[in-house]
Amino acid sequence: MSAARPGTADREAIEWVLGRARAWIAQDPDPDTRAELADLVGRAEDGDTAAMSDIADRFAGRLAFGTAGLRGELGAGSSRMNRVLVAQAAAGLAAYLHDKAAPDATPTVVVGYDGRRNSHVFAVDSAELFAGAGLRAILLPRLLPTPVLAFAVRHLGADAGVMVTASHNPPNDNGYKVYLGGVDDGSQIVPPADAEIAAHIQRIADGTTVDRLPRSVGYEVAPESVVDAYIEATAAVAPAPTGADDLRWVYTAMHGVGWETVSAIADAAGYPRPTLVTAQIHPDGAFPTVAFPNPEEPGAMDLAFETARASGAELVIANDPDADRLAVAVPDDSVAGGWRRLTGNQVGLLLGWRAARTATPGSGASLACSLVSSPGLEAVAAHYGLDFHATLTGFKWISRAPGLVFGFEEALGYLVNPGTVRDKDGVSAAVAILGMAAEARGRGATLDDLLTEFGATFGHFASDQISIRVDDLGVIARIMAGLRTAHPARLGDVDVERVDDLMEGIDGFPPGDVLRFRLVDGSRVIVRPSGTEPKLKAYLDVRGDSAEEAAGRLGALREAVGALLDRNR
């Protein structure tokens, strides 16, 4: 059956979309995305409905700039990540910095990039546009971890920083993360700065084409001394204790940029070189050995476990591709393959315990974690007489906790050195874990033993997560609406004591799409959409008098919450 001929309104809509595509092609500096879009336009003009649908999807909206900056799939069009969007973002950020600067001041912005596809191109474009806009622009000397960029913002006294990375997103994604200096101390942007920058970006996009934006090659390249300073400061986090010389560990960079920096810091701190997962040690934006370059994903650490078994290692350390996250694994004969990845909460509680032991009670020193992370950190803070802060998800919030000496979130993010980096840092966290493992080893203990000691000291906390990945974001909205409309009275055999809807700004949190269920036995369930991926996440936390009791409660709660989410899909 032949397709129906489009009506007048349909033809007008098609021509409008094709007009936007042609205008995009005319300003796009990238020959690859120009050719990609021109091919689609030509096929659509010949009546190819699939090509027309593809174009319509690419121009259905604009990739939003928010507190995560920009992040999305690479490709031509306003809803993709490309050189046009990056140019508009750079010009908008430059306008924002000029707007905030003192009269006659020249704002400084530093730019970093990782090993993903187009990261270097986007970074150079940004540096040229910043310089063309009259800013002092400084490009890091090569691809480096995100924490080095966060460090450089403070170290160089910059007004802002940009990191071109999509962290652990799928291989065909990239992103544009913005940091602010000055009173923001090198933290990621938060409201209202994100909305103000977005308004400048939109004004640029509406008012001119990117080929008319001024550019200059007069940007600087940061000296190696910036990287050296980061290495020195991070090595000082945990110098190797006596007896660490023969510590056996495995390291994987997950096809990212971590190894060069991690190796230099391990050398400077006095740790032995690890056995490397050689297939994953060099930057490769195609991520050929993993389906998804995130250490949390099933299978992502299989090569590391294989390497650990072959080498007789005592622990595995993994960074995600931009090295701002850390995963740790330990031997465990009770699981298939003989290795178990510690949860983000387990690592966070160990590192929080480490930080609390050296903090001064009553000094205003604090521990902080996101509201979806383990409540065990609050127990640690109380034990040592420290302040505690729960924040919204994301290090843009955690990093701003007053008196912060340590912060973490369960998604493998840890801030162990706030005097150096005001963001999650998988490199400094790796050094801190090496130090803990080496110190425990010196008395015949392991990281697993430290977890047992933690439970005996603070209580046995257990956490789990249910994650629902969707193709249709409407599914997430439907589940959240269903949970708001009809709160469950019980989860399994346990009564729900209280429901907090953070849309209402509960407990001093700014409004957010988060529901928190408190149960009468002290358990907690938090449900929210992911901020960076098409996922709905449910976070489960329980506490027991023993590890066995906590595990039993957690299993029952997981079953009940899974059934609740299924009923609301």
Q: Under 8 Å CB-to-CB from 297, ≥6 apart: which residues?
A: 290, 291
Q: Which of 119, 167, 374, 523 is catalytic?
A: 167
Other Cβ atoms within 10 Å of 208 Cβ, number: 13
Q: What is the DSSP letter of 211?
A: G
Sheet holding 315-319, edge to edge: 275-276, 249-252, 315-319, 326-331, 339-341
Determine the straight-line distance between the first and last CA of the chain, rounded to whole angstroms.
Answer: 35
Helices 83-100 and 193-207 cross at an angle (nearest 10°) of: 120
Task: Provide the CA 545 distance to its chain's centre, in angstroms.
Answer: 33
CA distance 85 to 14: 23
Please confirm whether the linkage preceding 288 is cis (ω < 30° from 0): no
Backbone angles phi, psi at 309, to 5 degrees: -65, -40
Are the C-beta atoms of residues 385 and 363 closer than 8 Å to each other? Answer: no
CA distance 339 to 316: 9
Exposed, middle or buried by CB within 10 Å (0-12, 13-18, 19+), for 288?
A: exposed
Q: Under 8 Å CB-to-CB from 92, ≥6 apart: which residues?
A: 65, 197, 198, 199, 200, 201, 202, 203, 204
Rounded alpha-carbon distances, angstroms, from residue 105 to 97, 101, 201, 432: 10, 6, 22, 39
Are the C-beta atoms of residues 403 and 415 closer than 8 Å to each other? Answer: no
Q: Measure the CA angle with vertex 521, ends 347 and 569; round to 5°.
A: 80
Rounded alpha-carbon distances, angstroms, from residue 310 to 248, 332, 550: 12, 15, 34
Structure tokens at 186: 């090198």
CA distance 558 to 569: 17
Q: Is 167 a catalytic residue?
A: yes
State the maximum Cα–Cα separation within the chain, in Å, rounded to a whole number.
80
Closest CA to 113 of 93, 138, 143: 143
Rounded alpha-carbon distances, angstroms, from residue 166 to 67, 163, 323: 14, 9, 11
Q: Under 8 Å CB-to-CB from 13, ≥6 apart: which residues?
A: none
Side-chain half-sphere CA neighbours of 559 within 13 A: 8
Structure tokens at 328: 């740790």
Are the C-beta atoms of residues 416 and 423 closer than 8 Å to each other? Answer: no
Q: What residues act catalytically?
A: 167
